[in-house]
Amino acid sequence: MTVALAVPDVLITRAQAGDEAALEALFRAFETPVYNLARRMLKRPEDAEDVLQETFLEIVRSIKQYRGEGHLWGWIRKIASTKTLMRIRRDQVRAAEPLDEEPVARGGGGGPTMHVGTNIDLERAFEHLSETSRAVVWLHDVEGYTHEEIAEQMGKSVSFSKSQLARAHARLRRMLDEGAHA
Partner 1 sequence: MMHCTMDDLGALRAGEASVWARQHITTCAACQAELEALYQRVAQLKALPALRPARDRWPAVREVVRAERARRRRRWGTWTGSLAAAAALAGLLLVRPSGGQGGKLHAELSQAKQQSATLEDSLQRYDIDGRVLSGHAAALVAELEDRISVIDGTLARRDLRARDAELVKLWQDRVELMRELVNARATRARYVGL
Selected binder of partner 1 within 44, 64, 90, 128 (CB under 8 A): 64
Could you say which DSSP state residue 143 is in? S
Could you say which DSSP state residue 68 is in? S
Q: According to the binding rule CB under 8 A, does residue 20 interact with partner 1?
A: yes
SS3 of residue 155 by DSSP: coil
Dist CA 65 CA 76 (whole Å): 12
Tell me how far apart the terminal alpha carbons of the chain are, to the nearest angstrom: 29
Cβ count near 147 (within 10 Å)? 20
Q: Which stretch binds partner 1 (CB under 8 A): 28-36, 66-74, 75-83, 91-99?
A: 28-36
Q: Please report how the helices 45-62 and 20-41 are oriented relative to each other, as an axis angle in degrees rounded to 10.
A: 140
Q: According to the binding rule CB under 8 A, does residue 33 interact with partner 1?
A: yes
Interacting residues with partner 1 between 94 and 153 (CB under 8 A): 104-109, 111-112, 114, 116, 119, 122-123, 126, 137-138, 141-142
Which residues are near partner 1 by CB under 8 A?
Answer: 1-2, 9-11, 13-14, 16-24, 27-28, 31-33, 35-36, 39-40, 45, 48-49, 52-53, 56-57, 60-61, 64, 104-109, 111-112, 114, 116, 119, 122-123, 126, 137-138, 141-142, 162-163, 165-167, 169-170, 172-173, 176
